[in-house]
Amino acid sequence: MDLHNLIKLQGRKKGKRVGRGYGSGKGGHTTGRGTKGQKARKGRKPWPGFEGGQVPLYKRLPKIGGFRNHKSKDIVGINILDLEVFKENTELTPQKLFEKGIIKRIPRDGVKLLGNDDVKKAFTLKGFLYSRQALAKLKKAGSKISE
């Protein structure tokens, strides 16, 4: 058996030992880090988001947040024509409008009925806010309004 007949053993290859001189197989004094600069030096590496002393992106962007006006009202307005999908003399509440899909959510300060169109059916309405036009048109149609 000669040396050229030997088969190579499979296994994990050892990594190069950097920083151990020219004989280690990985450069000399720079050991694969290039020449000069922060990344060539020992010690702490720049952190994610570091931009070399320039103000980083996360500090240049505006702050997220803001404020919510405590005096603002959370009201959803719907037209009285949207009530025509219900049968006559039905008792309507914001919850029933939500279940039917007319409103997407029940707002904190209520649902306001707006009178842009005429309504032909009479309803019993409970728990709504009304515009002056809507109130007049609903009463004209014979609707009962209770608080």
Q: How far apart are CA 107 and CA 84, in angstroms?
A: 22
- Reading the chain (147 residues) residue by residue, the pLDDT tens digits are 898 898 888 888 887 788 888 887 777 788 888 888 887 888 877 888 888 889 999 899 888 778 888 899 999 999 999 999 999 999 999 999 999 999 999 999 999 999 999 999 999 999 999 999 999 999 999 999 987
Question: Is the distance from CB of 92 to CB of 82 less than 8 angstroms?
Answer: no
Q: How far apart are CA 135 and CA 141, in angstroms?
A: 10
Query: Beta partners for 92?
Result: 125
pLDDT reported for residue 114: 96
pLDDT reported for residue 29: 81
Q: Domains of the chain: which residue ranges?
A: 76-146
pLDDT reported for residue 12: 85
3-state SS assignment for residue 144:
strand
For 46-61, write each residue's pLDDT tens digit: 888 888 889 999 899 8
134: left (phi over 0), alpha (psi -120 to 50) or beta: alpha
pLDDT reported for residue 32: 82
pLDDT reported for residue 42: 80
pLDDT reported for residue 132: 95
Which fold would CATH assign to domain 76-146? Ribosomal Protein L15; Chain: K; domain 2 (3.100.10)
